[in-house]
A and B are shown apart, each in its own frame.
Chain A
Amino acid sequence: MFPELNNLLNTTPDRAEQGKLTLLCDAKTDGSFLVHHFLSFYLKANCKVCFVALIQSFSHYNIVGQKLGVNLTMARERGQLVFLEGLKSAVDVFFQAQEKPHPLQFLREASAGNLKPLFEFVRDALKPVDSGAAGWTYPVLLVDDLSVLLSLGLGAVAVLDFIHYCRATLCWELKGNVVVLVHDSGDVEDEENDILLNGLSHQSHLILRAEGLATGFCRDVHGQLRILWRRPSQSTSQRDQSLTYQYKIQDRSVSFFAKGMSPAVL
Chain B
Amino acid sequence: MLDSLLALGGLVLLRDSVEWEGRSLLKALVKKSALCGEQVHILGCEVSEEEFREGFDSDINNRLVYHDFFRDPLNWSKTGEALPGGPLGALRAMCKRTDLGPVTIALDSLSWLLLHLPCATLCQTLHAVSYQDSCPPGDGSPVGKVHVLGLLHEELHGPGPMGALSSLAQTEVTLGGTMGQASARILCRRPQQHPTDQTQWFSILPDFSLHLQEGPSKEFQPQSDPHIPLVDPMAHLTFNLHLSKKEREARDSLTLPFQFSSEKQEALLRPRPSQATSHIFYEPDAYDDLDQEDPDDDLDI
Known: A172-B48, A261-B231. A198 touches B155 (CB 8 A): yes
B204 lies within 8 A of A238 (CB): yes
The answer to whether B233 touches A258, judged by C-beta atoms less than 8 angstroms apart, is no
| A161, closest chain B residue (CB) | B74
B179 to chain A: closest residue by CB: A239
A202/B18 contact (C-beta < 8 A), A8-B227, A157-B115, A238-B24 known: yes
Q: Which of A29-37, A69-77, A91-99, A229-237 contacts B (4 or more CB under 8 A)?
A: A229-237
- Give, as a whole number of angstroms, the nearest-CB distance from B75 to chain A: 10
* CB < 8 Å neighbour of A231 from B19, B21, B229: B21
A121 at the interface (CB under 8 A from B): no
Contact A116 B76 (CB under 8 A): yes
B228 interface hit (Cβ, 8 Å): yes
Whether B19 pairs with A240 at a CB distance below 8 angstroms is yes
Whether A203 and B46, one on each chain, are in contact in the complex, defined by CB atoms closer than 8 angstroms, is yes
Q: For the complex formed, measure the closest distance between the CB of B217 and the CB atoms of chain A, giving whole angstroms.
A: 11
Give the nearest-CB partner of A115 in chain B.
B76
Q: B48: nearest residue on chain A (CB-CB)?
A: A172
Give the chain B neighbours of A231 by CB distance below 8 A: 21
Kindly state whether residue A55 has any CB partner on chain B within 8 Å: no
Stretch from B65-73, B122-130, B133-141 forming part of the interface with A: B65-73
When the two chains form their complex, are residues A243 and B76 in contact, meaning their CB atoms are under 8 A apart? no
Q: Which residues of A contact B61 (CB under 8 A)?
A: none
A168 x B229 contact (CB < 8 A): no
Q: B55, A235: Cβ atoms under 8 Å?
A: yes
Query: Which residue of chain A has the shortest Cβ distance to B230 in the bound complex?
Result: A258
A245 to B70, CA, bound (A): 35
* Interface of chain A, main secondary structure: helix
Q: Chain B interface secondary structure, helix, strand, loop or mixed? A: loop
CB nearest neighbor in B for A236: B206
Which residues of B sit under 8 angstroms from A202, Cβ to Cβ?
18, 21, 46, 111, 153, 156
- B155 to A194, Cβ gap below 8 A? yes
Q: When chains A and B are docked, how far (Å) is the Cα of A240 from the Cα of B229?
A: 20
B233-A243 in contact (CB<8A): no
A191: chain B residues within 8 A (beta carbon):
158
| Interface members, chain A 221-257 (any B CB < 8 Å) | 230-231, 235-236, 238-240, 243, 257
Question: Would you call A164 an interface residue if the criterion is a C-beta within 8 Å of the partner chain's C-beta atoms?
Answer: yes
A198 touches B227 (CB 8 A): no
Closest to A8 in B: B227
**What are the residues of chain B within 8 A of A107 when measuring CB–CB?**
none
Q: Which residues of B contact A10 (CB under 8 A)?
A: 227
Q: Is the CB of B203 within 8 A of A157?
A: no
B153 interface neighbour in A8, A120, A199, A261, Cβ under 8 Å: A199
- Is A201 interfacial (CB-CB < 8 Å)? yes
Contact indicator per residue, chain A 102-143, by CB within 8 Å of chain B (1) or not (0):
000000000000101001100000000000000000000000
Check A165 for interface membership: any CB of B closer than 8 A: yes
- Does A90 reach chain B (CB closer than 8 Å)? no
Q: Does B142 contact A (CB under 8 A)?
A: no
The answer, yes or no, to whether B201 is at the interface (CB within 8 Å) is no
Q: Which of A8, A119, A199, A257 has the most CB of B within 10 A?
A: A199
Which 8 pairs, one residue from A and one from B, show the smallest C-beta to C-beta distance?
A198-B155, A235-B206, A201-B18, A172-B48, A239-B180, A157-B115, A202-B153, A235-B55
